[in-house]
Structure 1
């Protein structure tokens, strides 16, 4: 009878991920970002969309940490309580891009893997297009390349899907609608696929904290946009993740995006998911981010 073998030494337990708050200034504004995960891991910058904040990535982050990545999550301009300038010019895309570059500089990072959802994806596309030397890879979620989105506005049903952008150009009325509890905003968010828990978080993080006007500033700056680096072709390895049940972003822009990427490109369609991919499919999304960042 064979003697039992020794199980061998117990492997060391991985140290729990630590969370560190970064604050940095750009002009008169002070920004906040959450730096977490293994300090020696490759860095993934996560950019949130509207009407959400850094917590929208909470379900994705543990999976990225488990894969060995360090994450930087930026509380963006207009959302962060110490970075809410007045006037729509302060929310031009060039300013939003500059905030991301300032985050990289504050963390002493020459470049990082950049991931964005919704408006965060628009910023991520613009960072990659205008500053490819600062982007190791790009994963854009929901929002297509900005030139593809522009084409889709005239060549598909995207204009009808984007009706709310016109509403958000009006003064004071959008704030009044979006800051009311119950009724229209809750029904609209539920219709977009938000759960009751997500809607409650919206009221706490956006309405109660006063972030709604700043978030609307991003939309109100759209008429000031000019073609240039933001719509240039992207030359970094890119994954675009889109969901077929997104009521705001149709297939037209999603399928045109490949035309504007001159690098390794992957299109991932998540069947049955709504607009809120980071909350609905966190493990699957993290897997796509890790595959892109690790390739």
Structure 2
């Protein structure tokens, strides 16, 4: 369905029992709502009502021209506006990659609107900032930001029949085609890249302590987030918290580990207590 919010139109894909507790799903780059396809059946079977949003830059009706309109605080405001338009007072939030970053902001700055948070891959912003400061290897992992922020990023990713984009998404298997095809649509890739171009660490400086029940899912073969950032996330959650470490899984958790992700997300939402997957949990 199309949701009008903040002067834009967002594509929102709903599913599950109409009377189920609402779950807001927020995707990352360079994907869209389809990255949650493999976990949705489990959520629906558990009686949950899901709303997967194509975020700012990804919904054709929500692609501002101004790069500054993609500062990370704006998608968080979008999420609240979408909930308002849907008449949802409070929702469980599941976010991956940039969607996790938005989730952390929502939980920190709008805790009255968030029942629980399941953040996937990207840790609490302050934990990531610490790791960037004390671990040169963490800074090196973010070197790709310079490329994605550059004027040649679109040509780099889509050139030679999207060879680089396909390689980046290859761990998602055949599903990579879904995302590559979507990024070929006019304006779509630029909309996604503008999140990088508009990014400023100062936008995350105000993301403080999380007071809603939270699960953070990190995978030990994630090429972007170091173990230090993952472990120090617990410093910023003053609520029931679990760190889940998925072994042998890369950054693309919703496709590579859909079953475990669904299990841990459901445990967080329903208040279950699954056995931690790592001693660090």
Question: If the length of structure 2 is used for normalisation, what is the TM-score?
Answer: 0.92
Q: Residue 63 of structure 1 is aligned with which of 31, 42, 53?
A: 42
Structure 1 residue 127, shift from structure 2 partner = 0.6
Alignment-derived partner of residue 267 in structure 2? 291
Partner SS state of residue 183, structure 2: helix
Partner SS state of residue 93, structure 2: strand
Q: Hey, what's the Cα distance between the residues in 2 that align with 1:282 and 1:207?
A: 26
Alignment-derived partner of residue 164 in structure 2? 184
Q: Summarize the alignment of residues 37-116 of structure 1 with structure 2, pairs less than 5 Å apart.
A: 37-116=16-95
Conserved 8 A contact 1:77-1:83 = yes
Q: Residue 243 of structure 1 is aligned with which of 214, 219, 229?
A: 219
Alignment-derived partner of residue 16 in structure 1? none
Alignment-derived partner of residue 255 in structure 1? 231
1:140 and 2:119 are equivalent in the alignment:
yes
Q: Hey, what's the Cα distance between the residues in 2 that align with 1:251 and 1:288?
A: 19
Q: Hey, what's the Cα distance between the residues in 2 that align with 1:202 and 1:105?
A: 28
Alignment-derived partner of residue 163 in structure 1? 143
1:124 and 2:100 are equivalent in the alignment:
no
Alignment-derived partner of residue 276 in structure 2? none
Structure 1 residue 41, shift from structure 2 partner = 0.8
Measured against aligned partners, the alpha-carbon deviations of 1:13-65 in whole angstroms (never above 9, x if no partner) come to xxxxxxxx2422312x1111111100111111100000000100011101100
Structure 2, unmatched stretches of 5+, are 272-281
Q: Which has the higher helix share?
A: 2
Partner SS state of residue 226, structure 1: helix
Question: If the length of structure 1 is used for normalisation, what is the TM-score?
Answer: 0.87
Structure 1, unmatched stretches of 5+, are 1-20
Partner SS state of residue 73, structure 1: strand
Alignment-derived partner of residue 194 in structure 1? 172
Alignment-derived partner of residue 279 in structure 2? none
Conserved 8 A contact 1:143-1:249 = yes
Q: Hey, what's the Cα distance between the residues in 1 that align with 2:38 and 2:71?
A: 29
Partner SS state of residue 245, structure 1: coil
Alignment-derived partner of residue 153 in structure 2? 174
Q: Hey, what's the Cα distance between the residues in 2 that align with 1:287 and 1:185?
A: 29
Conserved 8 A contact 1:244-1:271 = yes
